[in-house]
Amino acid sequence: MTELLSHNLNERISAIVEKWEKAPMTKPRMTKVTVNVSLGQGGERLAKIAQVLKEITGQEPSYRKAKKTIRDFGIRKGENIAVSVTLKGEKAEAFLRKALEAVGNKIKYSSFDDYGNVSFGIKEHISIPGVRYDPEIGVFGMDVSITIERPGYRIIRRKIKKAKRIPRRHRVNRDEAVAYLVYHYNVKIV
């Protein structure tokens, strides 16, 4: 059964890549990579994790605050509980290659949504190449989200003459996002 699914997926990927070669403006591109580390508590450990995340990504992370108080977990509203970084361009490419290597270049098909977004988790940050273990910080996991869009999708975000909606045919679907990662990063879909 899985061989049949993978064979069918390979056929769809090759058809999509052929379509991109015929019409280059339909070929999607990676817009951004977002890395999120949610600790659930603030303090010194979160600051150290932010420093490690800065070293891994090469960009200053931003802190995320708790939206509400949860007494059982000891979280207060407004307290810093997570850090995240949004990467674009060459920094996104470099980090994505390291992150994919940390998960063995394998992503589940269920990790793709219908709008060209992909998310996967890294259980231990020390599995990323070039990162060493620090006993003061310990081991933490992170979530990596990739946004894939077609050229021209920016019209929904620009300030002047903003589009109210983008037609479905211009959005990246699940199979196209799969084809993009397989074609550019040699990712195996599980």
Domain extent at residue 77: 2-189
Task: Give me the CATH number covering residue 33.
Answer: 3.30.1440.10
Distance CA 151, CA 170 (A): 9
Helix (H, G, I), strand (E, B) or coil at 71: helix
What is the number of domains present in the chain? 1
Tokens of 56: 């891994």
Residue 135: the pLDDT is 87
Distance CA 54, CA 62 (A): 10
Express each pLDDT in 112-124 by its tens digit: 999 889 999 999 9
Over range 147-151, report the average pLDDT. 94
**Do the beta carbons of residue 53 and residue 37 sit within 8 Å?**
yes
Distance CA 1, CA 117 (A): 26
Q: Does the reported pTM lie above 0.85?
A: yes
Q: Indicate whether 36 pLDDT > 90.
A: yes
Burial (CB count within 10 angstroms: exposed 0-12, middle 13-18, buried 19+), residue 94:
middle
Read off the DSSP letter of residue 78.
T
